[in-house]
Amino acid sequence: MLRSYDAGGRALVVSIYFVLPLSSAISRCLRKIITYKPRRARWQQMTVRESDANELDTSPDSFDALEGLDPSFLKENAELVDAYKNIRWNSVQSLNALVGCIEKTILKYKNPNDAIKRAMESIYRQLLQKYPLLFGYWKRFTAVQYQLYGLEKSIATLKEALESFPNSLELWCDYLNVLCVNSADKVELIRENFLMAKDKIGYHFLSHPFWDRYIEFETKHQEWNSLNSIYAELLCIPLHQYARYGTAYRKFLADHVEFTPHNNLDVEIRKTHGLVTAVWPFESKIKQGFFNVTPVSDEELANWDRYLTYVEENEATKVFPTKFIESVFQRCLVPCLYYEHFWIKYHNWLELAKNSDLLTLIDSYQRGISRLPRSSKQFRYRFLDFLKKNYRKDKELILLSFTQTTAACIKLFPSETFLISEYLVLLKRSRFASSINQDEKEIHGQQILYAKELESAVSSYLNGTVDKGKPLQDMINDVNLPTVVVELIKTTWLTLKNSMQTRKYFNFYGKNRLFRSSTAFWLTYYKFEKSNQNFAKLNRFINDLGTEINLPVTIINDILRDYNSFYLANSNAGMYQTVRSAEEDYNKLYSVDPILLSRFKRNDPLWVPGRSQNTSIADWYRTKQFRENGHPGILSDKPQISNTIVESSTRSQGNRRPPLPSFKNLEKINQQPRYENSELPLSC
């Protein structure tokens, strides 16, 4: 629980951070972690051995922590079993109930067996794997570990908590307190941890508990040089308690005349006062500075957005320290962990303003991807773009990260075919690259190897012999398979200049049902046959559009228009007669004339000469084509004029005035349209 103050240091309200109430016994255990000093080295060694238990699978979705426990134990602890089996991950109450049951169980069994210990630990790990920023649960887990295994395991758990949540002010303060009490003789180790903590949380607006502990530590060991450096740094950080540290620094300088400040104290304090006053309108409105499983309020999100924008805009003039701005971003990403907008905003700043190094940026991207919901595409795609732009900086690292991220994205978004296209570009660039210094034979050999790699991956997928150790094979699915095949065909046709093999690929893969609706595959085929001016195969292709080949209507329309122009520009009367004679001998009734009849297939891919229905005008409204009205799969019965005079001759009317229109289906005017399952699969 941290107290909030106004800019002048006066107490205002108490903000309850997400620290869950502990049972009294567990609370005592947590306090003992700080005060307990082991008496026997043998007991310590036993604890260490126990802590070296086998690692557990802690996946919340696949691992049953209670599996293998004695049935009598499960029966006696039905409340625990029910809380675990029926946990609602988006409910704080459900999580609290589960944790409470664990603590009750531990208090109930003073000497639990190893199976019970592992089960309780596994449940906690499942919970904290899913929600690593719930520092209250980390504290309770630390207390539970102390109860089950002893001091060393509890300290290791607290250190593990910091690895999962390195920017937690509360966890760092607890960890440093534990070190100071239980490892007081390891001064340099403790000092190193204070320096690490300063880098992680030292610029937190409410980090005065940490700084107080740091000052106390250096004062105790009379490290006056370090203490002088601490105070000098504190003067420039816009902290909530800046004024108190300014006063303490004056007293320190008065007691240690050997030190003189580098700058005028009054000027530095006034400058820091200005920074604190500037951020106070934003800091005072932060009601939820902690992570919770429930959504953040719109007011809170808007305040964070304004706060980040403000410090970004003022960094250009060097008003705010860079570390302070980074601290604001990292604090924002605790409550706003699942909001893609703030991760993107953070990386805009990291890449442009801070100009962070490559490893730091990759680590931050991967951390964001691991935390964001699966539906967050933009941040993941941004990471892929970032890796492509920085390929030359570290080719092996970039390729590895790009491969892993692409594979994960394909699993999440299997219909996004551009992902595997981007991977193929980078794969060719890295594994099958060529340079101006190579001779023609070497370059040609690299392209042959690339084509073999593609063909091997495609064959493995189609034959069901995928090698999970080969990334490309593992990435292929039914949707993106045509994309890989098109790359293979283009490499064979355009790079290797092997038209015969290209035609074999078209003949082989064109028979597979997975390619019937692939726009990329059939457009490539169309271009290939155009380049060879094979009008017999082109005419057959036009005939098959809409029947054997299912492409979007707009694509078919474009092909028909293009082919009509291409045919007139490149064919002649003799060729036309020869091809048409051959087609009519093969399929006399349903052959589409490329000049005269192809236009009838526009907007009606299923149109075939000789199959048109002789429907009367009066019954036209009954047809499916009319009811769809240009929207395939959506049927509606609209009111119609029953006594239409369309296509009737004036002679039939004589000298009489046409009658007023009468309507049918008028009662269906407000009827909702009916959706019919399309027989055409989606295109790639």
Tell which of 356, 385, 409 closes a domain: 356
Question: pLDDT by residue (tens digit) across 422-478?
Answer: 999 999 999 998 888 888 888 999 999 999 999 999 999 999 999 999 999 999 999
Question: pLDDT by residue (tens digit) across 142-185?
Answer: 999 998 898 899 999 999 999 999 999 999 999 999 999 998 89
Residue 314 has pLDDT above 60, yes or no: yes
The answer to whether position 373 is within a domain reads no
- DSSP helix/strand/coil, 202: coil
What is the model's pLDDT at position 214?
Answer: 95
Sign of CA dihedral 43, 48, 52, 56: positive
The answer to whether position 504 is within a domain reads no
Is the domain of 241 the same as that of 120? no
Tell which of 356, 376, 391 closes a domain: 356
Is the domain of 122 the same as that of 1? yes
The answer to whether position 136 is within a domain reads yes
The kind and range of the H/E element at 95 are: helix 92-108
Is the domain of 319 the same as that of 232? yes
Tell which of 305, 330, 356 closes a domain: 356
Is the domain of 127 the same as that of 206? no
The answer to whether position 49 is within a domain reads yes
Instruction: Find tokens 């620094």 and name the residue.
Output: 249
What is the model's pLDDT at position 682?
Answer: 44
Is the domain of 192 the same as that of 159? no
Average pLDDT for residues 607-617, to the nearest whole number?
57
User: What is the secondary structure of 606-672 as a DSSP string?
Assistant: T--TT------GGGGGGSHHHHHTT-TTEE----EETT--TT--HHHHTTSPPPPP-EESGGGTTPP
Higher pLDDT, 578 or 397: 397
- Report how far residue 474's alpha carbon sits from residue 465's, in angstroms, rounded to the nearest whole number: 10
Average pLDDT for residues 390-399, to the nearest whole number?
94
Average pLDDT for residues 475-501, to the nearest whole number?
96
- Report how far residue 492's alpha carbon sits from residue 163's, in angstroms, rounded to the nearest whole number: 50
Q: Could you tell me if 244 and 9 are in contact, meaning their C-beta atoms sit under 8 angstroms apart?
A: yes
Is the domain of 2 the same as that of 120? yes
Is the domain of 78 the same as that of 196? no
Is the domain of 108 the same as that of 224? no
What pTM was computed for the model? 0.77
Domain that holds residue 225: 183-356
What is the model's pLDDT at position 590?
Answer: 53
Q: State the pairing for strand pair 640-641/674-675.
A: unpaired
Sign of CA dihedral 190, 196, 199, 201: negative
Instruction: Find tokens 């029953």 and name the residue.
Output: 642
The answer to whether position 52 is within a domain reads yes
Question: pLDDT by residue (tens digit) across 618-629?
Answer: 555 667 666 776
Question: pLDDT by residue (tens digit) across 235-285?
Answer: 999 999 999 999 999 999 999 888 888 778 889 999 999 999 999 999 999
The answer to whether position 178 is within a domain reads no
Count of domains observed in the chain: 3
Is the domain of 155 the same as that of 254? no
Residue 45 has pLDDT above 50, yes or no: no
- DSSP helix/strand/coil, 15: strand
Which of the four pLDDT bands, split at 50, 70 and 90, describes residue 677? low
Query: Comparing C-alpha atoms, which of 236, 205, 231 is closest to residue 218?
Result: 231
Higher pLDDT, 497 or 23: 497
Average pLDDT for residues 369-380, to the nearest whole number?
94
Is the domain of 312 the same as that of 188? yes
Q: Give the percent of the chain with pLDDT over 90.
A: 57
Q: How many CA atoms lie less than 13 Å away from 199 in the CB half-sphere? A: 6
Q: What is the overall mean pLDDT for the chain?
A: 83
Is the domain of 110 the same as that of 234? no
